[in-house]
Amino acid sequence: MPDQDAEFITRHIQKHPVNLKFETELAEIINDGNGNACGVITKSGEKISCDFVGLTAGVTPNIDLVKNSILKTAKGIIVNQYLETSVSDVYAIGDCAEISEPPAGRKAIEQVWYIGRMMGETVADTICGIRKAYNPGPWFNSAKFFDVEYQTYGNVPAALNENMDEFFWQHPSIEKCLHIVWKKIHLNLQE
Ligand SMILES: Cc1cc2nc3c(=O)[nH]c(=O)nc-3n(C[C@H](O)[C@H](O)[C@H](O)COP(=O)(O)OP(=O)(O)OC[C@H]3O[C@@H](n4cnc5c(N)ncnc54)[C@H](O)[C@@H]3O)c2cc1C
């Protein structure tokens, strides 16, 4: 996230209250002696007691179901632009699908639910007789942080490069903000 957005979301999360720790890494999970977690120790040596430990380390497609089948797989199940797998009449959509040649500016695997829905609509058209290529259009997504619905439209880098400019507005009293980032266009009006 860009700094302004990250600070906005951080303040909101901390209000709830969650003790967010930055630049902190897990060193050890403490065993209560019965095989259950009862705390963690961070790399700076801090001990935090807890009742359970949840780890979130990114997402990977779960393709166990088809791993030893005739379907072509890599990290996910390989599909073409029609979301067709290597076996006719078998499609893959959503988190498990890996597009062999993704549309320009898009990743081969995009694990967010809007993608799954758009892929579902595309395949529904195809199996109903209108063969359709997957065309997600501009990137967009939303994520919920307690009461804030954080929405993104287009690709916004965490740090702007020199060809970009931005506008950031935050409501003075309620938790709302708007952040617009654009590419600067240099017009040569003398030609
Ligand atoms: C913590 C978390 C937060 C997220 N937040 C957001 C967010 O804010 N915004 C957003 O857009 N996306 C978010 N996502 C991603 C979003 O949830 C996924 O992209 C979406 O659910 C993918 O849908 P899917 O149908 O492809 O896969 P899934 O929803 O994972 O469905 C796959 C189903 O297949 C079942 N299954 C697997 N193997 C087998 C088998 N062998 N036999 C039978 N069934 C099987 C699974 O049990 C599961 O029910 C989040 C994901 C997580 C984990």
The rounded Å distance from CA 32 to ligand 1 centre is 32
Q: Rounded to two decimals, what is the model's pTM?
A: 0.84
In this prediction, residue 155 carries a pLDDT of 86
Residue 135 banded pLDDT, cuts 50, 70, 90: very high
87-132 pLDDT, tens digit per residue, is 999 999 999 999 999 988 899 999 998 999 999 999 999 999 999 9
Q: What is the mean pLDDT of the chain?
A: 94
In this prediction, residue 191 carries a pLDDT of 64
User: Residue 157: left if φ>0, alpha if ψ -120 to 50, beta else—which one?
Assistant: beta
| Beta-carbon-side half-sphere exposure of residue 11 (alpha carbons within 13 Å) | 10
CA gap 96, 88 in Å, rounded: 18
Query: Domain boundaries in the chain?
Result: 19-57, 64-127, 140-183
62-82 pLDDT, tens digit per residue, is 999 998 999 999 999 999 999
CA gap 133, 103 in Å, rounded: 10
Lining ligand 1 with CB less than 6 A are 62, 65, 94-95, 111-114, 116, 141-144
Please give the CATH number for the structural domain made up of 64-127.
Answer: 3.50.50.60
